[in-house]
Structure 1
Amino acid sequence: MKPEKHNKMSNNLEFDIVKNSFEWLSAQRIQSVKELSSTLSAHALWELPNPYITRLILEQDNDGSWNSSIRDTARASSALSTEGIVFTASARWLLARKKENFWNRDVYDTAYALAALADMGTQNKDGCNWLSENYCPAWEQIGTTSLIITALKKQDNLTKTRTFETFIQEKARWILSKKRLDGGWIHISTSNLAIQALLLAGFKDEVEDSVNWLLENVHENGAWGNKGDDINATALTLSTLGLYKKS
């Protein structure tokens, strides 16, 4: 289903789409930490009853991690923080796995960890420096750059500084330069990461057409996905719409 194009997000259209999408999500078997985290965040941003909090907490390991995975632990920690829940054991677990100034010498692990630490109120400037100083052509992808922007901006917001603002603005404008004429960046999940990063960086007006593109690409049953229906893509999109509404 593709609703008629509109210049501004209609409140009625938004309500209908969001309502249908949450109904679709509630009927799915949501089991992985990634899906639980994104679904929990979507409910939190729309201030809905959140049965996924308990389910996600029950998946936590005794050491404070989720699946002994940096990304799962970061995703879960960030999601729970949207409901004001912070486990210091999870922050300690993440910090204990940082070697030198990075996590696994991996851009994704490092970006996810830094964003989660910021969400939990923990500063880590060395990790931020590693991301900004080692940015290279291999990282010049929409999703990767969006995750880096999100991590750096959250850390800057935490410390109430603008240490990485020049870098953030430069990369945000690069992401905008890659936006298609229809407002999207090809893939639903990648587009969501881009829109969320750009909203965080202060580019709300520039992503209005991107939000409309999301609304125009919802499936008839209320789900989103590149081909079939996808739980994570749907939850990410609901979070994006919630963030846009709150910005």
Structure 2
Amino acid sequence: MTSCNIAHNFQAEPLTLSAEITRAADAGFSWIADHLSSTNGSFSDIAVKDLTNLILSHLYWNYPQISFLYLQTLLLKQEENGSFGDLRETARAVSCLSAAYSYLESHSNGMDNSDLFIARGKAVTYLLAYRENWGDNLYDTVYILPALADAGIFEEDLSLALCENDDSDRQHPGTTALILTALQKQKNLGKFSEEADFMIFEFISEKLKWLTSVRENGFWKYTATSSLVLQAFVLCNQKHVAAESLPWLTASQKENGSWENDLNTTSLSLLTL
């Protein structure tokens, strides 16, 4: 990818939303390439959180060769016990490795994915070893649940507790979006009882309505927060609601191609697009 500064160089004729999204993505990935070029090919200093979103955004936009380079860096961050630092970061890594493994399996592009499978297995084993700590921190929980689901592991008790322990302290768009993502991924496994499945469906529906009600001018205050919310809407089969905010997301892109001159925010935005 080459450098480009076209984020707001609009043509005389208005672009369609699809073309605008493609343009925004091209500019965003070019900014990332330029931003990381100063590392001289070494990405070891990138945090697991940033690295996983970077990998996922490139995978979903069909840049597997680039994602594979970042995946090698991610694998180097895994500790002997399977951890990637702590429960939350390990959960993020599990979801990322699951997506990368599935991508390489389905595209049959000759890349060896055995390392990803082994690393994910070790990371899942680490998470399972700390089961008693899963509910200690809300933000650990909302990353652990989808990670387990991505690895095909059903976790009913923690999912139901996430619904039942609802309170006003969790009424933040980003937090709510993460909760919905966790619940929907577990729900998609199709293993809840009919009663539990309906309870989760009702909870998700209520929270989606709330998220829609607190949207202001197409977004939720911060770009990263808005990206998490839009991803939750898509995952919860509300793509039409998410689509209404995409013009805001593309318009908020900086002229240099980034969102807020930040690697993680830019990766999240590209993942949302």
SS at match of 2:136: coil
* Range moving further from structure 2, 146-155 or 116-125: 116-125
Alpha carbons of structure 1 residues 76 and 8: separation in structure 2 relative to 1, 3 Å:
farther
Check whether the contact 2:57–2:270 (CA below 8 A) recurs between aligned residues. Answer: yes
Check whether the contact 1:2–1:217 (CA below 8 A) recurs between aligned residues. Answer: no
Of 5, 8, 22, the residue aligned with 1:15 is 22
SS at match of 2:131: coil
One-letter amino acid of the counterpart of residue 144, structure 1: T
One-letter amino acid of the counterpart of residue 152, structure 1: L
Aligned residue in 1 for 2:169: 138
- The structure with the larger Rg is 2
Of 68, 79, 91, the residue aligned with 1:74 is 91
Q: What is the CA-CA distance between 1:44 and the residue it aligns to?
A: 1.0
Cα deviations across residues 37-77 of structure 1 (Å, max 9, x unaligned)?
1100101111112121111111111111101x111111111
Aligned residue in 2 for 1:244: none
Q: What is the CA-CA distance between 1:2 and the residue it aligns to?
A: 5.0
Cα deviations across residues 198-217 of structure 1 (Å, max 9, x unaligned)?
11111111122211110010
Q: What is the CA-CA distance between 1:146 and the residue it aligns to?
A: 0.6
Q: How many residues align?
A: 233
Aligned residue in 1 for 2:60: 45
Aligned residue in 2 for 1:36: 51
Check whether the contact 1:41–1:80 (CA below 8 A) recurs between aligned residues. Answer: no
SS at match of 2:205: helix
Of 215, 218, 221, the residue aligned with 2:256 is 221
Aligned residue in 1 for 2:75: 57
Unmatched 5+ stretches in structure 2: 1-6, 37-42, 102-115
Aligned residue in 2 for 1:245: none
The answer as to 2:201 corresponding to 1:189 is: no
Q: Distance in 2 between matches of 1:178 and 1:9?
A: 27
Of 246, 252, 265, the residue aligned with 1:211 is 246
RMSD: 2.0
Runs of 4+ more than 3 Å apart? 1-4, 6-9, 160-163
Q: Distance in 2 between matches of 1:27 and 1:59?
A: 23
SS at match of 1:149: helix
Check whether the contact 2:148–2:154 (CA below 8 A) recurs between aligned residues. Answer: yes
SS at match of 1:158: coil
One-letter amino acid of the counterpart of residue 198, structure 1: F
One-letter amino acid of the counterpart of residue 13, structure 1: E
Alpha carbons of structure 1 residues 3 and 189: separation in structure 2 relative to 1, 3 Å:
farther
Cα deviations across residues 112-161 of structure 1 (Å, max 9, x unaligned)?
10011111111111110111110111111111111000000000102365
Q: What is the CA-CA distance between 1:13 and the residue it aligns to?
A: 2.1
Of 116, 125, 128, the residue aligned with 1:95 is 128
Check whether the contact 1:40–1:53 (CA below 8 A) recurs between aligned residues. Answer: yes
One-letter amino acid of the counterpart of residue 23, structure 2: D
* Range moving further from structure 2, 129-138 or 12-21: 12-21
Q: Distance in 2 between matches of 1:224 and 1:123?
A: 35
User: TM-score, length-normalised on structure 1?
Assistant: 0.88
Check whether the contact 1:146–1:197 (CA below 8 A) recurs between aligned residues. Answer: yes
> Among the aligned pairs, what percent are the same residue?
35
One-letter amino acid of the counterpart of residue 164, structure 2: E
SS at match of 1:52: helix
Q: What is the CA-CA distance between 1:9 and the residue it aligns to?
A: 5.3
Q: Distance in 1 between matches of 2:18 and 2:207?
A: 31
Check whether the contact 1:45–1:82 (CA below 8 A) recurs between aligned residues. Answer: no
* Range moving further from structure 2, 27-36 or 130-139: 27-36
Unmatched 5+ stretches in structure 1: 242-247
Alpha carbons of structure 1 residues 2 and 128: separation in structure 2 relative to 1, 3 Å:
same
Aligned residue in 1 for 2:153: 122
Aligned residue in 2 for 1:232: 264
Check whether the contact 1:70–1:94 (CA below 8 A) recurs between aligned residues. Answer: yes
Aligned residue in 2 for 1:165: 201
